[in-house]
Amino acid sequence: MNVRTLGIDLAKNVFRVHGVDANGKILVARQLRRRQLLPFIAQLKPCLVGMEACGGAHYFAREIAKHGHEVRLMSPRFVRPYVKSNKNDARDAEAICEAVTRPSMRFVVVKSQAQQDVLALHRVRALLIRERTALMNQMRGLLAESGIVIPQGSATLRRAVAELQDNENGPTPILREILVETSERLRLFEERLKGYDSRITGLARNDQQVARLMAVEGVGPITATALVATVGDARQFRTGRELSA
C-alpha cells in the first residue's frame, strides 16, 4: 500500500484513518481500535502523517515517528475549514489528510516526553494551589459565619486558627474539630506544594535553556520551566509577538 499522506482522527478508543497516494486517490479509509493503530502504521512505507493537536497526540506523534514517518500536528481550528458536509470521524480524518498538505498550514511542534513530564508537574502543582485556595476560603467562610473574620493569606489563617484553638471564647467545639481537621489538610497541601517546587527547582538547575531564561530579571524556575516545556523550540515563531500571543 503506497500511502503518501495519512490523516488520523484520534479518540479515546476508536480511531479513524484516511490515506491517499501521490495523486490523491483514496487507498485507506477505515476504523481502528487503539491497540491496532501502531501495528497498522508499522506496516506502511514512510509517509506524511497528520493529526490534530489534542490529548495523546504528542505521544502518538513520537511513536509514529519511530517508524520513519514524518508527523505533523495541527490546531483543530485550522483543520475545521477542510471538513466537508456534516462533521463525523471519517470526514474529520479526510480533512486532516488534506489540511496537512497545505503549504500555508501552521504546525504544532511535537513535545518530548521530558517536556510533558515538566508540564505534568506544573499541572498537578496548579491543581494543588486551587485546592488549597478553596480549602482556605471554606475555612474563612465557616469562621465568618461565627463572626470571626480572618484577613487574607495562608500564614495569617494558620496563626489565627492556632490562636482560636487556645481561646476559650473562640469557636464552638464542633467548629474547633472542623478547624483541626482542615488545618491538617492545609498543612499537607503546603508540604506537597513545597515538594513540587523543589522538584521543579532541581530540574531548572540541569537545563541550559531554563538557566538562560532565569538570567532575565524577574524570571524564576517556575516561570522558566513552564515556558520551556510549553514552547519547546521558539524558532517555530516568526516574531516575539507571535510567541507572546
pLDDT score for 148: 85
Q: Where in the chain is the domain with CATH 3.30.420.140?
A: 5-108
Q: Is-contact 212 169, C-beta < 8 A?
A: no
**What is the pLDDT at residue 168?**
67
Quickly list DSSP for 144-172: HHTT----SSHHHHHHHHHHHHT-TTSS-
Pick one of 2.60.40.2310, 3.30.420.140, 2.40.160.20, 1.10.3720.10 as the CATH number of 5-108: 3.30.420.140
Global pTM?
Answer: 0.83
d(CA 49, CA 47): 6
Q: What is the pLDDT of residue 165?
A: 75
What is residue 6's three-state secondary structure? strand
**CA–CA dist 69, 44 (Å, integer):** 9
CA angle 234, 235, 239 (to 5 degrees): 85
| Helix, strand, coil fractions of the chain, as percent rounded to 5 | 55, 15, 30
Ranges of residues in the chain with a pLDDT under 70 are 167-169
* Helix or strand holding residue 108 (H, E): strand 107-108
Torsion of CA 180, 186, 188, 194, to 10 degrees: -150
Whose CA is closest to 97, among 20, 179, 151?
20
How far apart (Å, rounded) are the C-alpha atoms in residues 71 and 155?
49
